[in-house]
Amino acid sequence: MFLPIDHSAHASDLPRNCTFSEHDWRILSGFWHPVAFVHEVGKKPLAARLLDVDLVIWKTGAGVSVARDLCPHRGTRLSAGRVDGDQLICPMHGLHFNAAGQCTKIPSNPDQSARVSPRLRLQSLRVEERYGIVWTCLSDTPSWPLPDWPGIRDEALKKVFVPANTWAAAASRHVENFNDVAHFPWVHTATFGGSEDDRIPHYAVHETPSGLTFDLEYDEGGNRFPDDVPGDTRHVVYTYELTFPFSTIIIIRPNDSWYVQYFADTVCPVSAHETRIFQVATDTTGAPDETFLIKESLMINDEDKPLVENQHPEDLPLGIMDEVHIPADRMSVAYRRALVEKFGLGAPLSS
């Protein structure tokens, strides 16, 4: 009912009802994470959640701003307010905040020329707009770079944005699934999965400055590429490039073709078991068929989603002996190992 008056000893930047261990939350809060597509941020402030922290996202002439979704006056959600010109306006008493988060106007003040306290400031976060995605970081000093995506960064190639979707699964579970080829013939039966009898050849996973990469040849069932190469199936080479912790691009090169598709996937860990998926694609036609690519991608995602949402345990096991691995799991094993060895994620809870 009442907050204790002397609550300084309990003050913490951890969100209420945090679903992560404090240890993992602190590490994950150092990374850039996607929170919205730029095109989703319109005339109204947008609500989002990252690592159990409620955020407000809004756009002014200065670009996109992100802050904790909390008015410093009486704790109202700013995402229920409005944007007027370059000001975000709280729905409760109308305090105005500029793009940097400073209060500039208190409408009820009898003396409108009175100085506004600098303490009336939003908890603003760092923002980057890249690849049509709004990225933010809960820490002032990001610990890892944003992904550098070939193809997607080429401004001459038109981008397709797959509508964002939320999965009831851990971000790391989604990433593992996205980097797993052995499930294609079993799960992607209505889209591009190949024969159940095809083998996954041995492949090597390499470290890059920001993550992991591997190449794999595969025989896709169907022919989904707009390059007029005939055939009911296509032999392709996939190049996967993962940027820690949750971003991956697949570069797809069908053989005997000039055609290359770039399909990027990055996810927001909304909470420990809820993940918002952002996907951006393009190809060397320079003008991909948006309707087809979105429909195809949503079908593929819908094939994965119910299986990933029901994997057990919900949290990705990071101990290498926790599950049994098959040869096709080289990427999965390298990913789990890196999350532990490079970043210290999944450390035992201290008592």
- Cross-strand bridge partners of residue 63: 60
Point out which span in 138-146, 205-213, 297-305, 312-320 binds Fe ion (CB under 5 A): 297-305
Task: Figure out which of the listed residues 44, 93, 295, 342 binds ligand FES, where binding follows CB under 6 A.
Answer: 93
Max CA separation in the chain (angstroms): 78
Cβ atoms of 145 and 211 closer than 8 Å: no
Torsion angle, alpha carbons of 277, 281, 287, 290, to 10: -40
Q: Give the range of 108-116, 224-232, 296-304, 307-315 binding Fe ion by CB under 5 A.
A: 296-304
Give yes or no for residue 103 binding ligand FES (CB under 6 A).
no
Give the integer Cα–Cα distance in Å for 160 and 163.
9
Binding flag, residue 95, ligand FES (CB under 6 A): yes
Pick the closer one to ligand FES by CB: 95 or 316: 95
Q: Residue 47 interacts with ligand FES (CB under 6 A)?
A: no
Nearest CA to 136 among 123, 121, 144, 125?
A: 125
Choose among Fe ion, ligand FES, none what residue 116 binds, the Cβ cut-off being 5 to 8 Å by kind. none
CA 235 – CA 231 distance, rounded (Å): 10
Closer of 24 and 304 to Fe ion (Cβ)? 304
Which residue, chain included where needed, has tokens 């990055």? 266
User: Is 105 one of the binding residues for ligand FES (CB under 6 A)?
Assistant: no
Q: Is 313 helix (H, G, I), strand (E, B) or coil?
A: coil
Among 304, 330, 336, 343, binds Fe ion (CB under 5 A): 304
Residues in 62-81 at the binding interface with ligand FES, rule: CB under 6 A: 71, 73-74, 76
Neighbours of 140 (CB within 10 A): 8
Residue list 94-133, contact with Fe ion (CB under 5 A): none
245 closest CA partner among 347, 183, 174: 174
Q: Which one of 90-98, 254-262, 269-277, 314-322 is the stretch in contact with ligand FES (CB under 6 A)?
A: 90-98
For residue 216, state whether it binds ligand FES (rule: CB under 6 A): no
Give least dist CB 75 to ligand FES, A.
7
Residue closest to 312 by CA, chosen among 273, 268, 271: 273
d(CA 83, CA 87): 6
Q: Nearest distance from residue 178's CB to ligand FES, in Å?
A: 40
- Rounded CA gap, 324 and 193, in Å? 24
Measured from the CB atom, the residue of 145 and 306 that comes closer to Fe ion is 306
304 binding partner (options ligand FES, Fe ion, none; Cβ < 5 to 8 Å by kind): Fe ion
- Kindly state the smallest distance separating residue 79's Cβ from ligand FES, in Å: 12
Q: How many residues does the chain have?
A: 351
Applying CB under 6 A, the span of 86-94, 283-291, 327-335, 339-347 interacting with ligand FES comes to 86-94
The residue whose Cβ lies closest to Fe ion is 304
> Beta partners for 220?
234
In contact, 132 and 282? CB cutoff 8 Å: no
Nearer to Fe ion, 58 or 263 (CB): 263
Binding site for ligand FES (CB under 6 A): 71, 73-74, 76, 90, 92-93, 95
Binding site for Fe ion (CB under 5 A): 304
